[in-house]
């Protein structure tokens, strides 16, 4: 077993309890598990009674699994032998996750009202100017070499996949050696705009660091680096006077305009005041860390987007399986349906189901809204239709029951327009219920067209509301066309919609064409109309012709 020298102690950030500083005599150990015999007890079913331990050897904490049932993991890799810990590691035992940070848990940081940024002894520089400041002036050769080595080490860390808090801790570690502050802290800006303490350091004591709102605004809002050479008695708060702080630095963590947080350093005698080079060095280190953090954020966002795309593709694949395959053979009739989602998941549905008496139930529906939510409602509707399709009920009764069932499984903000039809192939009679859907078109051999208007509200809008129905005759040569508004509302770059009138004229001109050809030509016409404008809604078509 090799030995690693620990330069600074490590701290365990434990869920629901204070941080644990891993410091003590040689052989000091901390045991983890469900048993109360352990120093660290977690009542988690995934942990064994005596799960793992951390023991100090030559000042280095080693993690060892004690033959646990579910294993012990470091950075999501199961350990098979004792492993030395380092800052940035994440431990997992069962569902318990523990982060390891380098150095003792430093002081808290509080933001309060104050006017220190108005001090005549302060230097305020734009970030670009501040970052160049450390290169100017007379340099101590020893310090220059140390700075170059620190920059090289940090540059190497930027290449690695280092956790954010571990990287920030390393930045503070380097500045701690180079600038010899009394206290230091890095705060990160959350999505809400609030600041979160990421890491802090202090030589002694745990008195909180008090920052004025003016300083925070200067760093975050105006993207300025601020150097206090000396606090005046008229500007220093009582806490600053009592602490003996005489100099401080505040600089934002900024990269390409994005401000991620701020860095704070202060000092007191015998260390002299920070100078312009110190400000530049701190700003440069903060900038390098920001570049890595922003890169990691963008990569994480991209990975999240890819994962979501993968899950949506899977959902689309499953959903497409809910739609019917090849249309059935109904002697004397042509039946065809098609669905083109505007996104990965569609909120439209079409289908056909045989009845025991020889009739066929046809359905086309459109869930309000777009995206995954309507897609899930569509899947529920498909399941309800599958359950009810074989029952000998009328279309108005079916609409009534579907409306009540959907209302029980939605949040009241989703509703479904639907067109339900029963075809009797022997007679050509079609009994239908239009539940708030677009009018269906019945194209007759004489060149006329009937519009099949709505007979009730959309499903789930007012559950318990009765629906009406009507019966039409589909004569030889007649065509029944059902569609969703993704077709009629398809827009071009001038925001001009395709319109129901244009769809009606298109269908009347092709009333005798094969149904597959009607669909193909319509989709091509919609593409030509859109001229590259993305389709805002799903396009679904259901065609029934009597030969």
pLDDT digits (tens, 9 = 90+) for 445-480: 999 999 999 999 999 998 888 999 999 999 999 999
In 3D, which of 109, 285, 291 has the Cα closest to residue 184?
109
Q: Compute CA 181 distance to the chain's CA centroid, rounded to the nearest angstrom.
A: 38
Which pLDDT score is estimated for 202?
78
pLDDT digits (tens, 9 = 90+) for 97-142: 898 876 555 777 888 765 444 444 577 777 777 777 666 554 566 6
Helices (H), ranges, 244-370: 276-322
d(CA 21, CA 315): 47
d(CA 489, CA 429): 30
Q: What angle do CA 295, 300, 304 make, to 5 degrees?
A: 150
Interval 394-423 mean pLDDT: 89
The residue with greater pLDDT, 190 or 530, is: 530
d(CA 49, CA 32): 8
Side-chain-facing half-sphere of 523: CA atoms under 13 Å: 16
Interval 197-220 mean pLDDT: 76
In this structure, what are the phi and psi dihedrals at residue 345, rounded to the nearest 5 degrees? -120, 135
CB 100 within 8 A of CB 199: no
Interval 287-303 mean pLDDT: 77
pLDDT digits (tens, 9 = 90+) for 245-259: 888 899 999 888 888
Q: What angle do CA 456, 426, 505 make, to 5 degrees?
A: 55
pLDDT digits (tens, 9 = 90+) for 83-97: 999 877 889 999 998
* Average pLDDT of the chain to the nearest whole number: 83
CB 178 within 8 A of CB 146: yes
In this structure, what are the phi and psi dihedrals at residue 167, rounded to the nearest 5 degrees? -65, -45
CB 415 within 8 A of CB 461: yes
Strand order in the sheet with 29-33: 40-41, 29-33, 52-57, 60-65, 83-84
Q: Is 138 exposed, middle or buried (0-12, 13-18, 19+ CB in 10 A)?
A: exposed
Residue 415 has pLDDT above 50, yes or no: yes
Cα→Cα distances 447→214, 431, 482, 507, 521, Å: 77, 22, 18, 10, 20
pLDDT digits (tens, 9 = 90+) for 503-524: 999 999 998 999 999 999 999 9
Q: What is the pTM of this model?
A: 0.50
d(CA 316, CA 341): 9
CB 127 within 8 A of CB 283: yes
Q: What angle do CA 235, 239, 245 make, to 5 degrees?
A: 70
d(CA 150, CA 28): 32
Q: Is 249 exposed, middle or buried (0-12, 13-18, 19+ CB in 10 A)?
A: buried
CB 330 within 8 A of CB 352: no
DSSP per residue over 457-469, as a string? PPBTTSTT-----
**Banded pLDDT at 233 (limits 50, 70, 90):** very low
């Amino acid at each position: 077993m090799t030995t690693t020298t620990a330069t600074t102690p490590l701290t365990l950030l434990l869920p629901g309890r204070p941080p644990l500083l891993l410091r003590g005599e040689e052989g000091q150990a901390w045991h983890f598990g469900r048993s109360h015999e352990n120093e660290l007890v977690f009542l988690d079913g995934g942990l064994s009674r005596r799960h793992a331990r951390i023991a100090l050897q030559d000042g280095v904490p080693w993690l060892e699994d004690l033959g646990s049932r579910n294993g012990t993991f470091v950075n999501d890799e199961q350990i098979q032998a004792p492993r030395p810990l380092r800052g940035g590691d994440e431990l997992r035992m069962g569902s318990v996750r523990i982060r390891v940070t380098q150095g003792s848990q430093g002081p808290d940081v509080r933001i309060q009202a104050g006017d220190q940024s108005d001090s005549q002894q302060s230097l305020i520089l734009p970030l670009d100017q501040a970052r160049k400041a450390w290169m100017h002036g007379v340099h101590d050769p020893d310090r220059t070499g140390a700075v170059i080595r620190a920059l090289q080490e940090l540059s190497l860390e930027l290449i690695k996949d280092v956790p954010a808090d571990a990287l920030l801790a390393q930045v503070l570690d380097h500045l701690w050696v180079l600038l010899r502050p009394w206290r230091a802290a890095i705060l990160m800006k959350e999505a809400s705009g609030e600041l979160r303490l990421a890491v802090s350091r202090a030589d002694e004591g745990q008195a909180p660091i008090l920052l004025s709102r003016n300083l925070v605004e200067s760093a975050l809002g105006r993207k300025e680096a601020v150097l206090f050479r000396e606090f005046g008695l008229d500007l220093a708060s009582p806490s600053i006077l009592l602490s003996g702080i005489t100099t401080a630095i505040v600089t934002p963590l900024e990269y390409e305009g994005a401000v991620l947080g701020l860095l704070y350093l202060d000092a007191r005698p015998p260390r002299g005041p920070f100078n312009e080079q110190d400000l530049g060095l701190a700003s440069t280190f903060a900038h390098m860390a920001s570049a890595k953090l922003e890169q990691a954020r963008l990569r994480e966002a991209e990975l999240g987007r890819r994962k979501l795309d993968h899950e949506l593709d899977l959902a689309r694949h499953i959903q497409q399986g809910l739609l019917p395959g090849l249309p059935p053979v109904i002697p004397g009739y042509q039946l065809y349906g098609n669905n083109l989602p505007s996104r990965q998941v569609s909120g439209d549905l079409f289908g056909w189901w045989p009845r025991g008496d020889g009739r066929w139930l046809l359905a086309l529906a459109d869930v309000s809204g777009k995206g995954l939510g309507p897609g899930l409602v569509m899947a529920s509707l498909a399941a309800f239709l599958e359950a009810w399709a074989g029952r000998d009920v009328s279309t108005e009764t079916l609409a009534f029951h579907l409306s009540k069932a959907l209302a029980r499984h939605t949040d009241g903000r989703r509703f479904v327009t639907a067109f339900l039809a029963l075809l009797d192939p022997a007679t050509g009679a079609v009994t239908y219920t239009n539940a708030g859907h677009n009018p269906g078109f019945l194209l007759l051999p004489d060149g006329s067209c009937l519009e099949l208007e709505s007979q009730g509200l959309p499903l789930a809008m007012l559950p318990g509301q009765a629906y009406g129905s009507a019966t039409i005759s589909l004569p030889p040569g007649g065509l029944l066309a059902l569609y969703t508004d993704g077709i009629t509302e398809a827009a071009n770059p001038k925001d001009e919609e395709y319109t129901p009138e244009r769809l009606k004229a298109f269908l009347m001109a092709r009333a005798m064409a094969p149904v597959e050809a009607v669909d193909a030509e319509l989709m091509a016409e919609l593409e030509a109309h859109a001229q590259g404008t993305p389709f805002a809604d799903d396009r679904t078509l259901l065609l029934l012709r009597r030969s």
